[in-house]
Structures are given as structure tokens and as C-alpha cells.
Structure 1
Amino acid sequence: MNTDFRIALISNNLFHQGLLKGYCHAHGYKLFEATVDMESINVTFKMQPNIVILATYPVQYQINKLIREVSNNHEIPVCYLHSNNASALEEEVTCWVDAVLDASSDINQLDNYLRFRFKHHHRLIKENRKRARRIANDRRRLMFEQQNAVARHSQLTNNTPGNGDSRCFMVEPFFQIDKRSKSVMFNGKSLNLTRKEFELFELLTQDVDRVFMTDEIINHVWPENNRVTKSDLYQYMHLLRKKIENNPNNPQWILTVKGFGYKLNAPLSAQANSPDIEANEGCGSIWGGV
């Protein structure tokens, strides 16, 4: 059913009224009928039809003027069904309407025209929906960026100045990260990460639960290589997950946030100046529940 496509008929001809009723019922179009008077026409245009079909004989000057003005104001196309006995006033109508069709009993012309208009109408709807999705995605992206900026500011505020890389984060007991040897232990076993895999994982641990955008990760891990694509990042993430996850196809630690990037699914608990941390300076652990 094409119930979102609305047709307005302004006619004083019973034949056209019956013809359009049957046609709209067969195709699932909504039909609004208006008598040939100014009040009825104004009410019909307020219903916001997608197209107006005009079939009035003889053509009335005031009615023609009103329909033309309202059509222009609301940007609604008008299709005129002309008669065989065209008058000078009827010719004036045909100079501004969107289409002029034969008012004979053959409905093929009108059917072709309405099908064209229906496709145009739905193409506009699809374009508007795509535009709305883009705007919604942009807003979500901006929201994530703002939240991440607040999280980064909070982390920097809570950090003790001067500690630098010597500060350890107590995120136990699953992962232990040694920045000096560029190694990661998981449940007491070395993951044997490559340099890029370590850089990826270390980046995610810098701000746990923050969503890192794909472009941001690429710029961090490959700062001087502009040939790296998202496909390359996906491949490295897959290899990293194979070493960390029990089931790489259903990850529990490194999560994908669709349309944005990745995050590490582990709560971070920074405990600076802890005796245990000072004794193990330069490495840290990440912890989270199963």
C-alpha cells in the first residue's frame, strides 16, 4: 500500500471523480476531493497533498488564480486534465501547471505521470532518511568525542605530575603490561605480541572504556604511513583478539563500537604511590570481571 502518497482532486466533473476514486483505491493512494470553491480548495491544500489534479470545466479565473498562488507557496505540482474544447482561459492554465494531460477516458497518460511522481516522491523520502541518518551519526560521533574529551581531562587531572611512564595502573589480575620490555602477560602467560599489536593494546589501556575512533587508532599506530586503511586495522585487531580472546568472533575484552571504533572492556583503577606499584615500577595490570 502506498498510503503515504496523497493526491488532491479539484473537479466539478463526476466522470473524473469516479475515475480517480477507482484508480487511487487500486493503487493504495490517498485521495482528497475538493469542490470548485475557494474554501474547499484552501482546506485541501492544508492537507499537504503530494500532487493536485485539476479538472474544472469551464475554467474559472478566480479559482485558477487561487490554485496557482497556493501551489507556488506550498511547492505542490498541479496536473491539469484539459478538455477537447479548449478556451483561451484554459490555455492560460496550461502555461504554469506541471503537466497537461488528455481528459479522455484513457487513463494511461495519467497513470504514467503519477507513477513518475510517485517514484520521485519516494526518492526524496529516501534522500531525506539518509540525510537524517547522517545527522544522527554525526551527533552520536560528537557526543562520543565530547565524552572522551571529558574522560581524558579527568584522567589528566587525577594523575600525579612528574610520574610519567613510571606510574603504574593497578588493573588486575588478568593483564600485566610491561612498557619497558613491550610485553603483556595474560593470566600469567606471555601473549607474545608483535610491536604493532602491543601498540594497539597499549593505546586501548590508556583510557579504559573510552571508545577510540578507527582514524585515531590508525594515526597513533601508523603516524607516518598514509597508506594504511581501516582494512589493515581490522586485520591487526583480529590477530590481537586471537591472542587475547577465548572466542575472537565473540570478543569479551576488545569490543567493537559499530560505526565508531574500539574500546577495552575493563574498568581502570589507578592507584598511584602504592607500595606494590612502586616496587613494580614501569608495568601495570588491567582487571575486569568475567
Structure 2
Amino acid sequence: MTIASIEKVFVEDLTGLYGPEEAGSIAWLVIGFVCKINRSQYLNNKHGDLSGKELAIFYNMLSDLKKGVPVQYLMGETDFYGSVFKVNSSVLIPRPETEELVDWVLKDMKADKSGHEGLKMLDIGTGSGCIPITIKKYLPGVEVSAVDVSSDALAVAQENALLNSTEVRFIQDDILNPIVKWGKFSIITSNPPYVTLAEKEQMHVNVLDHEPHLALFVPENDPLIFYKAIAKFADSHLEAGGQLYLEINENLGQETVSLLKDSGFKDIELRQDLRDRDRMIKARLG
């Protein structure tokens, strides 16, 4: 069987679950991963025969994909802001909107004429570590820390810091009931859980059945529980004039703005992602 033939099999078998466009994207990701080729190499070799070992890997992955297992978990890695990050079922798969949040932070910090050397940053609910590691990678002069309640997630994050040759301080703590004696930070970032139980019914099976619920869901009667905790934490641990950057629930943009305003934050900016959804907020303390 050729590479082109296995691509056709993947698209045909996965279109019912993912739709034709996403099925095609998944097929290409698996081809690149298994055959270790880039797009141009694929175009030049798509009629080349696959080995028996490669075919076995393809069909094993296809079987799992048809059950809804995310392709990134099967590969054990994903791309984020130009870097490779290890992922498994202990962490959320980094999303494009999180890249947009990171890009916002980096551009603001680079534009700050006072410089960023020696600044301290904390990422709350770090998961794979994609936010703090990327910021540290592009701004090595910033002292970066990250916290998560999950020891399994922190193990993945630590592996990613090594993979990307960055030094990030990882600490286990629960932002809802913090016990660590934290210092002061110039910047706090977070992509906390924010999916309500009502929204759970609209989620794709590959997210609902395979990504960690601890990092996704919040109580229906208190959807901003983590934002309240982060605002309270930031009030004590952000320096005067420090910045808070948050990824948010697109359906709760104005509610999150009001929460931060009531918590004493200034210069609150609600930003849309590339699909025009309310997905990010920046706010200044005092």
C-alpha cells in the first residue's frame, strides 16, 4: 500500500467523526509522524510503498482515532508557537487561542521600553507548561514560575521545559486553596478551567472522553470560580501596576470583565481570537 492510499483510507474512515477537512488534517499529521516526512517530501513520495511495520502503526492509530482518541495523544506531542511539546492524557492539548494569548504577552513585553530583564512571571494551572515555557524561551531574562494542582501535569511540564531548553520553576499547589508562600510577580497568566456542564454536551467526543476533566470543567452555578480565585490571588501577589492575562470562556466575556473591575483591576481589555470570539482578557492591578 502507498502513502496516498493510506491517506485515502484515513480520510474515508474518519470523515464521519471529524468531517472531511479535519479528517484530512489528521491523516496528514499521522503520515508526517509515522513516515517522518515533511509536506514537500510527501508530495514527492506519496506513491511510494509503505513497509509492513509502518502499515501496522497506521492501522493501530486509525483504530484509536475512530474511538475518538486525539491524534496528539497518539503521537505524544504537538506543535505550539513553533515548538514541540509532549502531551498525554494528564494535560490539555494546547489550542491556537492559547498561542494568541502567549503572542499578546510577548508583544506587550517586547514593546515595554522599561525592558523585561528581571521581571517575574507566574502561570496558574500550567498543564503542559506551554505558556510559561514559550515565554521563557523568547524572553530568557524573565524569571518564570508555574503552578498546577496535578502532579502528573507537572511531570509533563517539566519534561517540556527540558525538551525546549528552558528553566521554569514548577510548583504543585491549588489556586482555590493555595498553601505555598508565594512572592510578588510582575505578570500572571492563566488558562484555567471554564467549561460549564451545560456546554459539556456540545463538546466533541475526542475532548470529552479523553482530555482531563480536572482542567476543563467548572460548576454550573459558579462558572467563574477560578477567575475569582485568580483575581483574589493576584490582588495579593501582583506588583502594583502588574498585568494579568487570562484565557476565558467565550460566553462569559462581559461577566469576567465585571468580576475583574469589581476586584479593583484597571485598564481591562477584552480581546477576540482569530474567529472573533471573546477569548482573552488583560487587566492591570491598581
Q: Report the TM-score, using the length of structure 2 for normalisation.
A: 0.28
User: Whose relative contact order is higher, 1 or 2, with alpha carbons under 8 Å and at least 6 apart?
Assistant: 1
Q: Which of the pair has more CA radius of gyration?
A: 1
